[in-house]
Structure 1
Amino acid sequence: MTPNILKSSLENASFSIIFQIVCRGVTFLLNAFTVRHVGQDVLGVMNVRLLLLESIILSMLKEPFFKACLTNTAEHNWAQVVNLLWLTVPLCSLFSLFLGYIWLSVLTTDEELPAYYTFAVWAVAASCVIELSSLVVQLVSSAFLFVRLRIVLDSIMIAIRTLTFVCFIIYNPEYALLAFGVAQLVAAIFYTTSHYLYFQYYIKSLRKEKSKLRRRMSVNENEEEYVLSEFPFRDLKDFLPGHLENNESDAFGKLRGLTWSFFLQSILKLILTEGERLIMTMSSLLTFKQQGAYELVNNLGSLAARFIFRPIEDSSYFYFTQMVKRDKSLNEQHPGKVQESVNVLMHLCSTVASIGLIVLVFGQSYSSLLLWLYGGSKLIDESLPVFLLRTHCLAVFLLGINGVTECYTNATADSKTINKNSSYMIGESIIFVVVSCAFVNWFGPVGFIFGNCVNMGLRIILSISFINKRHAETNYRPLRGLVPKPVFSGSLILAALVTNVSQAYFFPDAKLFHFIIGVIMFVLVMLSWAYEHQDLILLAVNKWYDRRNGRRKSE
C-alpha cells in the first residue's frame, strides 16, 4: 500500500474512464446490431429481464461484501477477509436457484417468450456464481492497486462476450438468447480463471525476487522477509478459505457488521437504481417491444454517466475510505488528509455538475441527431424516442451529482449512519415505486425517467444533509463546487439558445451544418469552463508530469 492513494485513485479513474468508453462503445454498437438483426422485443428480454437478474444477484451479494472489505485495507486481517468473501459462493448458488425459479415459473406474460429463454436464465445465474468465486482476488487487485490488471481483464472480458454473442447471431438471429447465455458463461469463466492465473504468476515472481535478495544479502530463511512482507499471500492456496493464519478469535470482527449494513442498503439501492426494470419485469405495463425501445433510449441517454460518472465514483470511494476514518469526526483526524479530501470532493462536485449541465443543454438539441445516427429515420419518425432521450438528460445531470455525494457518504459514514440512511431509503423506495407507476400510467415509458428524477433528487438531499453535518464543525464547504461559475453558466445559456435555433431551422435537412454548430458551441463552453477552473487543470497537468517523470526515472 506504499503508492500514494490519491495518485493511484486518479490513475484508476483515468484508466476506468478509458475502459468505460471502449466497452460502452462496444455495447452501443452491439445494441444497434441486435436491434437491426433480432428486433426490439428480444432486446427487451435481454436488457430488461436477463440483465435485471444479473444485477439483483451481484448487487445483493457482491457489492456489500466488496465494499465492506475494501474499507481500510491497511489494517485488515486477511484470513477473516478471505473467509468472509468465500461465503458469497454458497449464498449466490442458493439465491440463484431461487431467483431462477421465479424468473421461469412465477413471472408470467401474455407474450410468447423467445427461444432458449430458460437456458439464458440459468446461464446468467451460473455466470454470477463463477464470477463470485474470484471475489477474493478481485478485492486483492483493488486493495493493492493493481489498476492495469483490472482494466485489461475487464476489457478482454467485454471483447470475449461481445465476439461470442455476435458470432452466434450473425448467421442465426433466432438463437439470440442462446448466444447471450453462452457469452455470459464464457466471459465469466475467463474473468475468474485469468485473475487466479495472474496472481499465481505474481506470487512466483515475488518468490524469485526474494530468493535473489536472500542470496545477495546472505540472510537466513527464518530472518526478515524482504519482498513478500507487504503482500500477505504466499501461495495461490492462500486465496482459499482456512489457509491463512488467523490470530483473532472473532471470525469476522467489524467487517461482519459493516457488510450487513451495506447489504441492507444494497437492497434499497437496487430498488432505486433498477426500479424501472423491476416494474417492467414484475408487471405488464409495457410490452417486450416497448421495453426494448425504452432500454435502447436509456442506453443512449446514460452514455455520459457510464463513461465518466461510474469510474469516478468507484475510484473516489476507494480514495475516501483510505483518507477519512468512519468513526471519528473530521477535527479528530489528520488535518492534511482532511484538507486534501475536502479539495478532492469539491473538485469532483464541480466536475460532475458541469458535465451534467453540458449533457442537459446539448441533449435538448442533439437527441434527434443521435437517434438518427443510431437507428436511422425510424427512431425519429415518432416523437416518443426523442422525448425520452431529452428527458433522460435531466436524469443524467441528477445522476452525476447523486453519484459523488452518495459515494462520499458511503465511504465515510459509520455503520449507525449507514443503517439510518438505509431506513430513509425505505421511504424513498416506496415513493419511487408509487411515483413511477403513476407516471407510467399517465405518460407511458417517459414516466420511468420522471420517477428516476424524483428518486435521484431524494437521494441527493439525503447525501447533502450528511456532508453538511459532517463538515459543520469545520470551515470547509466542499458542496460549493456544485454551484456553476458565472462565465460557464453564461456560455451554457448562449449554447442552449443557438443550438435550439439550429435544431429548428437546420434539422433534419442540414444535419452536417447542425452538427458543426454544436461542435463550435461545445468548444466555446469548454473554453469558458477551463478559464474558470485553471487551478484544477494545472493540478491535473502537474500530476501528469509527475507521473511521466517518475516513469522515466524508473526506466
Structure 2
Amino acid sequence: MARNVLESSLLGAGFSIIFQILCRILTFGINAYIVRHVGREVLGIMNVRLLLLESTLLFLSREAINRAALSANAQQGDRCSWAQLINQMWLTVPICAVLCGPCLYIWLNWLSSVDAIYASQYEFACYAVALSCVLELVAESAVFVAQVFCFVKLKILLNTLHILVRSAIFLWIVTGDRSAAINAFAIAQLSSAVTIVLGQYGFFYFYLKGFKNFVTQQTRKKPLTPKAWQISLYEHMDDFPFKHLNDFLPGVMFNPNGKYFNRELQTLTLSFVKQGVLKQILTEGEKYVMSVSPVLSFGEQATYDVVNNLGSMAARFIFRPIEDSSYFYFTQTLSRDIKLAKQPQERVRQASSVLNNLLLGVSSIGLIAFTFGQSYSYPVLLLYGGPDFVAGGLPQSLLQWHCLAIYLLAVNGISEGYMFATNTSRDIDKYNYLMAIFSISFLVLSYILTGIFGPVGFIFANCINMMSRILYSTYYIRHQYRPLSLDPLLGLWPGKLFGGTLFLAGIVCYWYQSSSLVTHLGVGVLAGLACLLSWALAHRDLVRLAWRYGRRIKIE
C-alpha cells in the first residue's frame, strides 16, 4: 500500500479541521441550549466531572501504548511483528477495565458531591461513561491500523458519525424531558462508543472482502490452489498484513518470533506511561482541582468550562489535528535512536522545513486569536449564552486571558510534540522528572492563584506552566539542529509586516468596541482580512507550497 507520509499527514490534518469545525459547532450549540434552558449546574456536572472521567480513563489506557506502537511500527522492518503490535493494542481493554474500579470509587465517593436531585443520574452516568470507554477501546487495534495505513477519510467519517449519533440521541431525550439531561448524556456516550466499534470493524470487513473478490475475479479463468490463491492475495494487497477480520484480534496472527509481546516496545511504553500520567495532570489539571476541592461551585465550573471551550476552539479545531498529524509525520520520518547528522539528510531537511512552517502557522493563528480576543470576547459570549450569562463580567475576563493561553498552547503543542516524537526512551525518562515538577507546580499554582484571582487563576497557572514547557522543548530543538546549521525555530517569528498589521488591527478594533454591534463586527471582519492578506504577502512561498499540495491532493 504505497503511501506518502507527509501528504497523508497534511490530508489528515485538513480533513480533521474541516469536519471537526462542523461537528463542534453542533456540540457548542447543544451547550448553549443547556446554558439557556437546563442550567449551568447540569452543564458543570456533564462537561467537567463526567467528561473528566472519560478523559482520564481513555488517556491512561491508550495514550502511552498508541504512541509507543506508532514509533515501533515506523522503525521495524519485519511485517510479522504486526502480531505483537496488535497484541499490544489490545492491552488497552483490560487496562481500562482495571482502571474503572478505582476511578469509579473516587468519582462516586471522594470528589465533591452533587446535589441530591442529581445524585441518582450522576451515579448511573459514571458507570455508563466507564463502560463506554471499555467498549471504545475494543476497536483500538482497528483504529491503530487505520492510522498507520493512512485511512484518513475513514477516521474523519467515523469521528463525525459518532459525534452526530451522540448529539442526536442526547437532544432527542433532553427535549422530551429536560430533567433527564444527565441520563441523556450517559445513554448518548454508550451509543457513540457502539458506533465506533461497529464502524471500524464494519469498514475492514468490507475492505478485506473487496480484496478477496478482486483476486477471485482476476483468477476466475485459471483456478488456483489455496496456496497460490493466498500468494496472489498477498500480492494485490501489497504490504497490508491483514487478510481476515479476525487478524485484528489478539493472538490470531502468526508470529515467527514466538513472543506474544516485544520487550523493546514494552520498555518504550513504560516510558510513555510515566509521561502520560504527568501530561494528563497538565492537560486536565484545573478540572482535577475543581473536582477535588470546593474551590468553585458547579455553576462556576460550568462558566469556566464554557469559556474554556470557546477559548479552546482553535485548539480543538485546528491545533489538535495539526499536532496529531505532525506527530505521526515526525515519528515516521526521523529515528529516535540515531543522531540527525547520521540520518538521511534529505529527510532531516524536510523535517526541519515542516517544523518551521508548522511553528509559523500555529503561532500566527495564536497571535490573531490573542489580538482579536481582547475586543470581541464580550459580543461572542453575549451571542452564545445571553445577557444573564455575561452579567458580572467574569466570562469576558476569562475569555480575554484565555486568548493568551491559546498562543502558548499553539507553540507548546508543536514544539513538545516534535520532542516527544524524536526523543529516545532515556530522554523521555529524563523529561518525566521535569514533567513531575511541572505537574506539581501547576496544581499548587492553580490552587493558590484561584484563591487570589478566582477562576482566572487557572488560566494564569496554565500560562506559566506552558511557558516553562516551551522553553525546554525549544532548547531541545535548537540543540538538536545546531550542528546542522538549521534553525526551525525561526518559524516563531511571524515577520514585521504581519506583526505590524496585527498591532494596528488590535488598536482599531479596541477603539470601535463601544460602537454598535454591527459596526464593531464589520470593523473586525475588515481588520481580519487585512491581517490575513499581510500574512500571505509576507509568506508567499509557504502559500504557494500549500496551494501546490492542495491541488495535488484534489487531483488524486
Structure-1 residue corresponding to 2:436: 426
Amino acid at match of 1:48: V
Aligned match for 2:548, one of 522, 542, 555: 542
Residues 246-294 of structure 1: CA distance to partner in whole angstroms, max 9, x if unpaired? 1124422321111111111110001101000000001101111110111
More deviation, 391-400/29-38: 29-38
Structure-2 residue corresponding to 1:325: 335
Residues 528-551 of structure 1: CA distance to partner in whole angstroms, max 9, x if unpaired? 0000111111011111222333x3
Q: Structure 1 residues 428, 217: closer, same or farther in 2, change over 3 A?
A: farther
Asked if 2 retains the 8 angstrom alpha-carbon contact of 1:109 and 1:284, the reply is no
Aligned match for 1:528, one of 528, 534, 543: 534
Q: How many residues align?
A: 546
- Within the alignment, does 1:234 sit opposite 2:243 as a pair? yes
User: Separation in 2 of the partners of 1:113 and 1:322?
Assistant: 52
Structure-2 residue corresponding to 1:285: 295
Cα deviation for residue 216 of structure 1 reads 6.2
- Within the alignment, does 1:213 sit opposite 2:218 as a pair? yes
Structure-1 residue corresponding to 2:87: 83
Asked if 2 retains the 8 angstrom alpha-carbon contact of 1:317 and 1:408, the reply is yes
User: Separation in 1 of the partners of 2:85 and 2:141?
Assistant: 8
Structure-2 residue corresponding to 1:9: 9
- Within the alignment, does 1:22 sit opposite 2:22 as a pair? yes
Asked if 2 retains the 8 angstrom alpha-carbon contact of 1:61 and 1:263, the reply is no
User: Separation in 2 of the partners of 1:427 and 1:545?
Assistant: 46
Residues 511-534 of structure 1: CA distance to partner in whole angstroms, max 9, x if unpaired? 001000000100000000000111
Matches within 5 A, 1:87-236: 87-109=91-113, 111-112=115-116, 114=118, 115-215=120-220, 221-223=226-228, 224=231, 225-236=234-245
User: Separation in 1 of the partners of 2:512 and 2:17?
Assistant: 31
- Within the alignment, does 1:516 sit opposite 2:499 as a pair? no
Amino acid at match of 1:163: A
Aligned match for 1:445, one of 445, 455, 468: 455
User: Separation in 1 of the partners of 2:322 and 2:95?
Assistant: 30
Report percent identity of matched pairs. Answer: 43
- Within the alignment, does 1:363 sit opposite 2:369 as a pair? no
More deviation, 472-481/70-79: 70-79
User: Separation in 1 of the partners of 2:16 and 2:124?
Assistant: 32
User: Separation in 2 of the partners of 1:153 and 1:162?
Assistant: 14
More deviation, 475-484/250-259: 250-259
Aligned match for 1:417, one of 427, 432, 442: 427
Structure-1 residue corresponding to 2:257: 248
Q: Structure 1 residues 501, 216: closer, same or farther in 2, change over 3 A?
A: farther
Asked if 1 retains the 8 angstrom alpha-carbon contact of 2:70 and 2:328, the reply is yes
More deviation, 221-230/490-499: 221-230
SS state at 2:176 partner: coil
Amino acid at match of 2:104: G
Amino acid at match of 1:161: R
Structure 1: which 5+ residue stretches go unaligned?
none
Residues 84-113 of structure 1: CA distance to partner in whole angstroms, max 9, x if unpaired? 111111121111122111111222337446
Q: Structure 1 residues 331, 213: closer, same or farther in 2, change over 3 A?
A: farther
Q: Structure 1 residues 249, 286: closer, same or farther in 2, change over 3 A?
A: same
User: Separation in 2 of the partners of 1:435 and 1:108?
Assistant: 21
Q: Structure 1 residues 237, 319: closer, same or farther in 2, change over 3 A?
A: same
Asked if 2 retains the 8 angstrom alpha-carbon contact of 1:398 and 1:456, the reply is yes
Asked if 2 retains the 8 angstrom alpha-carbon contact of 1:327 and 1:414, the reply is yes
Matches within 5 A, 1:295-334: 295-334=305-344
More deviation, 206-215/33-42: 206-215
User: Separation in 2 of the partners of 1:318 and 1:216?
Assistant: 43
User: Separation in 1 of the partners of 2:166 and 2:86?
Assistant: 28
Q: Structure 1 residues 141, 216: closer, same or farther in 2, change over 3 A?
A: farther
TM superposition score normalised by structure 1: 0.96
SS state at 1:284 partner: coil
Structure-2 residue corresponding to 1:37: 37
Structure-1 residue corresponding to 2:499: 489
Asked if 1 retains the 8 angstrom alpha-carbon contact of 2:498 and 2:531, the reply is yes
User: Separation in 1 of the partners of 2:33 and 2:449?
Assistant: 31
Amino acid at match of 1:203: L
Q: Structure 1 residues 448, 22: closer, same or farther in 2, change over 3 A?
A: same
Aligned match for 1:398, one of 402, 408, 416: 408
Cα deviation for residue 83 of structure 1 reads 1.1
Residues 147-201 of structure 1: CA distance to partner in whole angstroms, max 9, x if unpaired? 0001001101000000111111112111011001000001001111111111011
Cα deviation for residue 81 of structure 1 reads 0.9
Amino acid at match of 2:4: N
Asked if 1 retains the 8 angstrom alpha-carbon contact of 2:112 and 2:291, the reply is no
SS state at 2:511 partner: helix
- Within the alignment, does 1:340 sit opposite 2:350 as a pair? yes
Amino acid at match of 1:206: F
Q: Structure 1 residues 65, 527: closer, same or farther in 2, change over 3 A?
A: same
More deviation, 37-46/218-227: 218-227
Asked if 2 retains the 8 angstrom alpha-carbon contact of 1:72 and 1:322, the reply is no
User: Separation in 2 of the partners of 1:71 and 1:313?
Assistant: 16
